[in-house]
């Protein structure tokens, strides 16, 4: 079949087809159908029960998509040493994390503390009636609303969590008729999205039901419109703070270079505090560490990404998430992150590699996992800013990238060894690696 360059035909009932039929349909769009099927085959697990497990995670699964799982040892966090699992494709991230871990392991390590664990969700409603009447209705029925969720919250309450507050918020200055039930939650060791959404949908249904029976309301006011009920991934009160500090003069080999380094480091972080172009890349570096652990621990990285960047813009301008200072001869570097993550629920007990990662970390609670993730973010940020203000980012980055280029160019083990030696003192680029290989191969 001639390749149709992405303009595929509509297909109906696709999700109901067998997996083999789905693969046959999708691979017909490739120039070499058999080769395309072979790739899917190669990336499917030979053990059928294992493969079935992965197929059940999503709809229309045709194979597995691999990311490398690396480990970064020597993280001293609150006086405990742990090895952090990281699932990531970017070549320099695990190496940078491991370097930063080792660097701080002899300087007191990382300090981590939880500042809050509150999650948030809203029932978004439209009410075109009398605001004072709505407020009276809400106050009169607030406890009934909460009581109506008891069957859903029973287990969570027995663990010490549940709904912690419900308020009615008047948003009509921003949008005509728009009010919210703003609901706060403690979801213990769960990220909580499904739990929160279930509670919100129950609150919405009860709100509509109670409004229908509220006699002070007019006929129209009894019909409160529920637009949607959904958690928010903005969690500015579910926060973890991590930090490192040491006397400035012990940072590098000599006191002179240490002072110069610390001052430049602080300046680099200040630039990221006031310059959004730099702040975005600075925070991307933090997320290199954060996402890798979020993924390895089976958590929702889209939720974390959305919440973290919203938090970085909370003051009205997008800023660095980390801060660095020098005070009384001591260098301080810290990071505060909103992180809604779980150690139960979602994929955490289903995906074998996720289970493995949790065991490696010593089966952390959600609060401990928040601390580990934030530490990975701070470690990454430290390593990146350290390179930026000293050797430049490319030296370390391209050395790691060298292996990717060598693999792309199908270098043999002998060629790789020769290339690694050569590029210890020469700049790495696609062009220079190709030239070296051509040279070696011409001999
Ligand atoms: P979940 O639905 O699997 O629920 C967690 C379960 O763990 C609950 O049944 C709870 O009772 C149980 N549990 C056992 N021990 C617990 C403990 N110690 N603490 C707390 N709960 C305990 O998971 P969830 O956390 O409600 O939702 C997370 C999933 O929702 C993720 O997969 C996420 O991708 C997905 N999701 C996210 C969004 C979003 O972020 N916008 C929206 C919808 C779904």
247-290 per-position pLDDT tens digit: 999 999 999 999 999 999 999 999 999 999 999 999 999 999 99
User: Do 49 and 96 share a domain, yes or no?
Assistant: no
User: Do 304 and 370 share a domain, yes or no?
Assistant: yes
User: Do 256 and 225 share a domain, yes or no?
Assistant: no
User: Do 134 and 194 share a domain, yes or no?
Assistant: yes
CATH code, domain carrying 130: 3.30.70.420
Residue nearest to atom 23 of ligand 1 (CA): 345
Q: Is 300 a catalytic residue?
A: yes
Strand partners, 246: 331
User: Do 283 and 403 share a domain, yes or no?
Assistant: no
Q: Is 182 a catalytic residue?
A: no
Ligand 1 site-directed mutation target among 149, 301, 304, 345, most atoms within 8 Å of CB: 345
- Is ligand 1 within 6 A of the CB of residue 262? no
Neighbours of 327 (CB within 10 A): 9
Report d(CA 320, CA 373) in Å as an integer. Answer: 17
- Is ligand 1 within 6 A of the CB of residue 364? no
The per-residue pLDDT for 426 is 87
User: Do 106 and 252 share a domain, yes or no?
Assistant: yes
Report d(CA 32, CA 2) in Å as an integer. Answer: 10
Residue nearest to atom 19 of ligand 1 (CA): 189
The per-residue pLDDT for 157 is 98
The per-residue pLDDT for 396 is 64
The per-residue pLDDT for 427 is 84
User: Do 244 and 224 share a domain, yes or no?
Assistant: no
Residue nearest to atom 30 of ligand 1 (CA): 193
Catalytic one of 29, 45, 90, 263: 90
DSSP E strands, 22-134: 69-77, 80-87, 111-114, 119-126
Compute the distance from residue 343 Cα to the ligand 1 centre, in Å: 9
Ligand 1 atom with the shortest distance to the CA of 306: 40
- Is ligand 1 within 6 A of the CB of residue 201? no
| Last residue within a domain, chosen from 183, 202, 232 | 232
Report d(CA 43, CA 5) in Å as an integer. Answer: 24
Catalytic one of 55, 189, 300, 367: 300
The per-residue pLDDT for 195 is 98
Using 50 as the pLDDT threshold, list the residues of the chain that sit under it.
none
Is the separation of the CB atoms in 109 and 77 below 8 Å? yes
| Last residue within a domain, chosen from 24, 42, 66 | 66
List Cβ neighbours of 117 (8 Å cut-off, separation of 6 or more): 186, 237, 238, 366, 367
Ligand 1 atom with the shortest distance to the CA of 365: 18
Compute the distance from residue 287 Cα to the ligand 1 centre, in Å: 22
- Is ligand 1 within 6 A of the CB of residue 250? no
Compute the distance from residue 368 Cα to the ligand 1 centre, in Å: 17
Please give the model's pTM, rounded to 2 decimal places. 0.91
List Cβ neighbours of 194 (8 Å cut-off, separation of 6 or more): 345
- To 10 degrees, the CA torsion angle through 378, 383, 386, 390? -170
Strand partners, 324: 333
Among 104, 206, 191, CA closest to 151: 206
User: Do 242 and 107 share a domain, yes or no?
Assistant: yes
Domain count, the chain: 4
Q: Is 47 a catalytic residue?
A: no
List Cβ neighbours of 197 (8 Å cut-off, separation of 6 or more): 121, 229, 230, 231
**Cα end-to-end distance, the chain, whole Å:** 43
Sign of the CA dihedral with 262 first, then 263, 266, and 272 last: negative
pLDDT in tens, 80-126: 999 999 999 998 999 999 999 999 999 999 999 999 999 999 999 99
Compute the distance from residue 251 Cα to the ligand 1 centre, in Å: 42
User: Do 196 and 185 share a domain, yes or no?
Assistant: yes
User: Angle 366-389/93-105 helices, nearest 10 degrees?
Assistant: 100
The dihedral region occupied by 375, where left means phi > 0, alpha psi between -120 and 50, and beta the remainder, is alpha
- Is ligand 1 within 6 A of the CB of residue 346? yes
Is the separation of the CB atoms in 170 and 179 below 8 Å? yes
Length of the chain counted residue by residue: 443
Report d(CA 117, CA 235) in Å as an integer. Answer: 9
Catalytic one of 119, 124, 397, 401: 397
User: Do 263 and 336 share a domain, yes or no?
Assistant: yes
The per-residue pLDDT for 81 is 98
Report d(CA 185, CA 161) in Å as an integer. Answer: 7
Compute the distance from residue 191 Cα to the ligand 1 centre, in Å: 5
DSSP E strands, 303-362: 322-327, 330-338
Compute the distance from residue 232 Cα to the ligand 1 centre, in Å: 14
Is the separation of the CB atoms in 244 and 382 below 8 Å? yes
Compute the distance from residue 46 Cα to the ligand 1 centre, in Å: 30
User: Do 382 and 252 share a domain, yes or no?
Assistant: yes
Ligand 1 atom with the shortest distance to the CA of 156: 11
- Is ligand 1 within 6 A of the CB of residue 87? no
3-class state of residue 284 by DSSP: helix
CATH code, domain carrying 79: 3.90.770.10
Tell me the residue range of the domain where 102 lies: 69-116+238-390
- Is ligand 1 within 6 A of the CB of residue 344? yes
The per-residue pLDDT for 315 is 96
User: Do 203 and 339 share a domain, yes or no?
Assistant: no
Read off the tokens for 257: 């270079």
Is the separation of the CB atoms in 282 and 382 below 8 Å? no
Q: What angle do CA 231, 295, 158 make, to 5 degrees?
A: 50
- To 10 degrees, the CA torsion angle through 365, 366, 371, 373? 120
Read off the tokens for 123: 């029932």
Report d(CA 38, CA 96) in Å as an integer. Answer: 35
What would you report as the CA-atom Rg of the chain, rounded to the nearest whole angstrom? 27
The per-residue pLDDT for 397 is 66
């Amino acid at each position: 079949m001639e390749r149709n360059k992405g303009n595929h035909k509509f297909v109906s009932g696709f999700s109901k087809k067998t997996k083999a039929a789905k693969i046959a349909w999708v691979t017909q769009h490739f120039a070499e159908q058999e080769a395309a099927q072979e790739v899917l085959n190669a990336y499917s697990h030979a053990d059928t029960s294992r493969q079935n497990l992965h197929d059940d995670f999503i709809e229309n699964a045709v194979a597995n998509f691999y990311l490398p799982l690396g480990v970064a040892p020597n993280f001293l966090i609150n006086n405990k040493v742990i090895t952090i699992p990281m699932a990531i494709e970017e070549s320099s991230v695990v190496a940078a994390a491991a370097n930063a871990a080792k660097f701080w392991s002899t300087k007191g390590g990382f300090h981590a503390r939880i500042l809050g664990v509150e999650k948030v969700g809203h029932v978004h409603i439209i009410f075109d009636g009398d605001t004072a009447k709505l407020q009276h209705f809400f106050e009169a029925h607030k406890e009934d609303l909460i009581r109506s969720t008891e069957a859903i919250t029973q287990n969570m309450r027995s663990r010490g969590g549940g709904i912690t507050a419900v308020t009615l918020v008047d948003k009509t200055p921003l949008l005509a008729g728009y009010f919210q039930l703003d609901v706060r939650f403690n979801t213990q060791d769960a990220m909580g999205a499904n739990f929160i959404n279930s509670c919100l949908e129950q609150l919405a249904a009860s709100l509509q039901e109670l409004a229908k029976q509220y006699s002070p309301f007019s006929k129209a006011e009894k019909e409160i419109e529920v637009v949607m009920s959904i958690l928010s991934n903005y969690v500015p009160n579910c926060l973890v703070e991590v930090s490192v500090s040491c006397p400035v003069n012990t940072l590098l080999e000599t006191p002179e270079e240490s002072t110069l380094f610390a001052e430049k480091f602080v300046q680099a972080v200040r630039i990221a505090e006031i310059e959004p172009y730099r702040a975005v890349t600075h925070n991307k570096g933090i997320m290199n560490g954060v996402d890798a652990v979020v993924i390895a621990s089976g958590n929702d990285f889209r939720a974390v990404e959305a919440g973290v960047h919203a938090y970085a813009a909370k003051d009205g301008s997008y800023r660095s998430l980390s801060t660095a200072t020098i005070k009384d001869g001591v260098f301080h570097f810290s990071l505060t992150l909103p992180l809604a993550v779980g150690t139960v629920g979602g994929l955490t007990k289903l995906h074998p590699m996720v289970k493995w990662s949790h065991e490696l970390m010593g089966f952390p609670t959600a609060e401990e996992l928040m601390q580990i993730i934030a530490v990975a973010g701070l470690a990454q940020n430290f390593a990146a800013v350290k390179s930026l203000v000293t050797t430049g980012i490319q030296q370390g980055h391209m050395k790691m990238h060298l292996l990717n280029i060598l693999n792309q160019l199908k270098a043999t083990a002998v060629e790789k060894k020769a290339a690694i030696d050569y590029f210890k003192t020469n700049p790495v680029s696609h062009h220079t690696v190709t030239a070296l290989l051509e040279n070696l191969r011409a001999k």
